[in-house]
Amino acid sequence: MSFVRNQWYVAAYGTEVGRELFSRTVCGESILFWRTEAGEITAMADRCVHRRFPLSEKPSNLVGDTVVCGYHGFTYGADGGCVAVPGQTRIPRTARLATFPVRERDSFVWVWIGDKERADESLIPRAPWLDSPDHTTVWGMEPLKARFMLLVDNLLDLSHETYLHGGYIGTPEVAHTPITTEVDDETGVVYVSRHMDDAECPSFYAKSTGIEGRIVRWQDIEYFPPCLYLLHSRVAPVGVYPKDDGTDTDAFHVEVVYAITPETENTTHDFWAVARDFALDDQGVSDFLHDNNRTVVLQDVVALDKLEQVIATEPDGYQELSINIDTGGLAARRILKRMAEEGAPREQVAR
Amino acid sequence: MSFVRNQWYVAAYGTEVGRELFSRTVCGESILFWRTEAGEITAMADRCVHRRFPLSEKPSNLVGDTVVCGYHGFTYGADGGCVAVPGQTRIPRTARLATFPVRERDSFVWVWIGDKERADESLIPRAPWLDSPDHTTVWGMEPLKARFMLLVDNLLDLSHETYLHGGYIGTPEVAHTPITTEVDDETGVVYVSRHMDDAECPSFYAKSTGIEGRIVRWQDIEYFPPCLYLLHSRVAPVGVYPKDDGTDTDAFHVEVVYAITPETENTTHDFWAVARDFALDDQGVSDFLHDNNRTVVLQDVVALDKLEQVIATEPDGYQELSINIDTGGLAARRILKRMAEEGAPREQVAR
Amino acid sequence: MSFVRNQWYVAAYGTEVGRELFSRTVCGESILFWRTEAGEITAMADRCVHRRFPLSEKPSNLVGDTVVCGYHGFTYGADGGCVAVPGQTRIPRTARLATFPVRERDSFVWVWIGDKERADESLIPRAPWLDSPDHTTVWGMEPLKARFMLLVDNLLDLSHETYLHGGYIGTPEVAHTPITTEVDDETGVVYVSRHMDDAECPSFYAKSTGIEGRIVRWQDIEYFPPCLYLLHSRVAPVGVYPKDDGTDTDAFHVEVVYAITPETENTTHDFWAVARDFALDDQGVSDFLHDNNRTVVLQDVVALDKLEQVIATEPDGYQELSINIDTGGLAARRILKRMAEEGAPREQVAR
């Protein structure tokens, strides 16, 4: 697949970007991020216009609100414009780095890949728990040597928890409980729900919530293609349900957030965060959830990297077999295909 | 060259396959091997029909006589048929792994690559010494980062022993003694013989047989394309020949067996075994022959891996120069070319 | 770019070639070098005509003035002719290694890549300081994972010293002082000069010459495409210039010599040497200049290897932006393009 353009993607956590030059590749674009002295975030091409030296490579460095190229000293301002070149005072009119619309939301740095005039910040999907005082969040990012779509597939079909994550977040009920899937064709959002009313409690929840015995476990997925994936996870002792007035104070809520960002055609940034509404100040619970979730993510990484290798050697036209559990993933593929067509540049850019 | 299909290939030693999932790639096909609880060997595609996860990868595992995929739990029986999928009781009719005809012979696991209906087990060439009580055998397998044909060339022209294996199994007489070559065009078997009547005894034979002084050394090769290579090696003190009645009890006989199995277009499994009819219970001799032969095989591996690298950078149409010693190798190439044409699928499979 | 053929290239330092088989790839040709017992240097294809084994690979070896292939014992004389093959006395008429015209000059081994009949040794450009008793020289060679042209660009625009080599040989004046560029269209030589009359003294010169305070610093480049680059560096205390009679005994002269030799399309041999006319017997100065210059060269290696990676991922038709400092580099590109066209074989060789 080619990249889905004219979309917002998570490029980083806000805490990753500061007064050091920071580079990350999004949809094949190598992008330089840094903050101005006023703390505003910038995003521009990570390649000097002169002899293509990466501006994120030492000895390139930040001087005030300018970036000085470490090869020949071409110097750029926060708007990407060149302000100095070596050996002459005249600065060529075309000496300017491409910039990218960029926004900070919910602890993420979102960047727009596509035509700048179409960058509407109201299109950025939200994950408000990540920087909410009512939640405590742990997070990380793991690089994936596998294509974006393999992670989309993985996250939209959680039946794999039973097998790939058995002993961590998987129990037999996840694979055995049927799902319901809905697609909002207008907004492109995919909803997948699995409500287990009498399930074994995996160690991930037993140790963090303190629940003993079997549980009600709800998994409600919202996927905002291409980048943002939310898993609303509700865990409570068997028999405990939300009250008629909608409150649900006897349950534990975990918001699992993934941002799925293509790096290249065959590699992906796997951002993950786990926000909880309980034990907010308990560092032990934070450490446990961080380490346990990272272990689970790395189990996915190993599996998906392997799948990418399998794809690399398989004959063209290889056909998968899909079943009911794949309904959400197949819907996502269909929507992403449509988005890719809608977002494609009028003249296809040669890559 | 493309693979020679519709042929039997050695995939493993029988001892390599048991109640653990075992994978080996033969002619580009990634194949899963395991034994049923009754000890019968199975061979099926090492790729789940659902999302192509390799069934040999953990946490996939064997439960009784079924394989459970470690990604989403698709479960397959010994005949490759799917017996369980997650989240539903109906199993899709097409959920079935391709299986491969497989036979155990002479300690090898042979697998048929091609159309199943053409898999005739009487076509499997034999190496009966390997599991005969009258012989003691040492063996191994070395992975080669070189194409199959380079190992065929290597083994059919033993003059290289003098140079590449000097001090191990090579002496000046090997390179200097002319060979005789015969080809059975009907069966496709290639015979190459070199009979040295007064030769230096290489350390390989001096230390294992105890012969002091010069020797009669006969090398009689039978190559059953594509996979099986037999070197009947006869060593005796100078002047000692088989008796008129055909018995040959005063000589030492070593049956050197290679199975040459393409893994991919550019990599090869180099199975080697050395069976002797003397010092049957002498572990010291076994250890010596194992280590010495493995050293010799690794000398070939280093040389052939290098040749593969040379080929990768050479211009198309590069021409080798061949001489008399190459008669057997050139005959083998001709027969393999014919076999490849005969074995090709009617509609060429896209790879 | 394709290689510039019908040119002399530096393949090695003379001290690298002796009575051991030595291989180096120049313009995609893998070449074997060794000296005869009389000390004469030879250059021939590093690939046995029989089964393409590299003659530089063990157990190939030199026996008198012949090379014996380590695979099957094909044996070649100093003129590339085959003198022995295994198993027969007749030697095929065509058994002959291609040889390359080769000359030793100024401590370098020069090899001619192209049609032998066009190899005119008077075309070899000279760097006489390297083996002159009036100079002391330190030298090395660093392998570059970047194309030849990136190093040509680098060396013809020394404004990068200020940034990439700041603290070593760079000071602010290098980037800020304009250059003059001349091209001799007949000989193809490119001249670039930068004369600084009041410059900071970089540690490279301060520590080696003992000058304290600011300096006159002249950089006069002569580039003899494709391979030889000379930087005549003159350093003296501020106000000290050559005398009217042309003598210049109060200045320090350093001849920085590079030989830029393509290995493959995307890798380069970066030979560097630093010859000085002062402190001739001071080993401390030699050690300092060697280590300091090697550090500088490795800074270039890191930067150019990175540029090669950037080029590998950029869209076709990517456009650089050039300014005045690039005049020399652009002239070099133009001349090299013309040379490539003139030197191309009549029938283009398939690579």
- Residues 81-140 (C) with a CB less than 8 A from some CB of B: 85-88, 92, 94-95
Task: Please give the structure tokens belonging to residue C327.
Answer: 């005049």
CA B114/CA B340 separation, integer angstroms: 11
Q: Which residues of chain B have pLDDT under 50?
A: 347-351
CB C174 within 8 A of CB C196: yes
Contacts by B235-239 with C-beta closer than 8 Å and gap 24+? B235/B201, B235/B205, B235/B209, B235/B211, B236/B211, B237/B211, B237/B213, B238/B197, B238/B198, B238/B213, B238/B214
Rounding to the nearest 10 degrees, give the CA dihedral for residues B179, B180, B182, B188: -20
pLDDT at residue number C315:
87
Give the model confidence (pLDDT) of A244-274 as tens digits.
999 999 999 999 999 999 999 999 999 999 9
Record: contact C160-A28, CB cut-off 8 A: no
* CB-closest option in B163, B176, B324 to C71: B163
Record: contact C307-A85, CB cut-off 8 A: no
* Cβ-based contacts of C57 with chain B (< 8 Å): 303, 306
Better-predicted residue by pLDDT, C17 or A348: C17
Best of B72, B74, B347, B348 to substitute, by most chain A Cβ atoms within 10 angstroms, is B72
Distance from CA of B234 to the nearest CA of A (A): 44
Distance from CA of B69 to the nearest CA of A (A): 8
pLDDT at residue number B275:
98
Give the model confidence (pLDDT) of B135-190 as tens digits.
999 999 999 999 999 999 999 999 999 999 999 999 999 999 999 999 998 899 99
Better-predicted residue by pLDDT, B314 or C285: C285
In our burial notation (b when 16+ CB lie closer than 10 A, e otherwise), range A13-44 reads bbeebeeebbbbbbbbbbbbbbbeeeeebbbb
Q: Is C183 on the interface with B (CB under 8 A)?
A: no
* CB-closest option in C176, C303, C310 to A87: C176
Give the model confidence (pLDDT) of C199-222 as tens digits.
999 999 999 999 999 999 999 999
Its ipTM equals 0.94
CB C277 within 8 A of CB C235: no
CB C157 within 8 A of CB C181: no
Better-predicted residue by pLDDT, B1 or C313: C313
* CB-closest option in C177, C307, C317 to A51: C307
Distance from CA of A260 to the nearest CA of B (A): 19
Q: What share of chain C is helix, strand, coil (3-state, %, to 5)?
A: 25, 35, 40
Rounding to the nearest 10 degrees, give the CA dihedral for residues B233, B239, B242, B244: 160
Of all residues in chain A, the percent with pLDDT exceeding 70 is 98
Record: contact B159-C72, CB cut-off 8 A: yes
pLDDT classification of C346: cutoffs 50, 70, 90: low
Distance from CA of A325 to the nearest CA of B (A): 7
* CB-closest option in C59, C85, C349 to B166: C59
Record: contact C68-B163, CB cut-off 8 A: yes
Given a cut of 80, whether residue C67 has pLDDT beyond it is: yes
Q: Is C155 on the interface with A (CB under 8 A)?
A: no
Mean pLDDT across chain C, nearest whole number?
96
Record: contact B351-A303, CB cut-off 8 A: no
CA C272/CA A162 separation, integer angstroms: 61
Give the model confidence (pLDDT) of A229-240 as tens digits.
999 999 999 999
Angle at A79 between CA A78 and CA A83, to 5 degrees: 80
Distance from CA of C349 to the nearest CA of B (A): 8
| pTM, full prediction | 0.94
Distance from CA of A219 to the nearest CA of B (A): 15
* Cβ-based contacts of B30 with chain A (< 8 Å): 310, 313
pLDDT at residue number A316:
87
* Cβ-based contacts of A54 with chain C (< 8 Å): 306, 310
Give the model confidence (pLDDT) of C255-282 as tens digits.
999 999 999 999 999 999 999 999 999 9
Of all residues in chain C, the percent with pLDDT exceeding 70 is 98
What is the per-residue DSSP string for A232-291?
A: EEEEEETT----TTS--TTSEEEEEEEEEEEEETTEEEEEEEEEESSSTT-HHHHHHHHH
* Cβ-based contacts of C318 with chain A (< 8 Å): 52
pLDDT at residue number A346:
54
pLDDT at residue number B2:
81
pLDDT at residue number B221:
98
Given a cut of 50, whether residue A348 has pLDDT beyond it is: no
Q: Is B311 on the interface with A (CB under 8 A)?
A: no
| Chains interfacing with A (3 or more CB pairs < 8 Å) | B, C
* Cβ-based contacts of A75 with chain C (< 8 Å): none
A188 to A223, B192, C184: CA distances (angstroms): 9, 70, 65
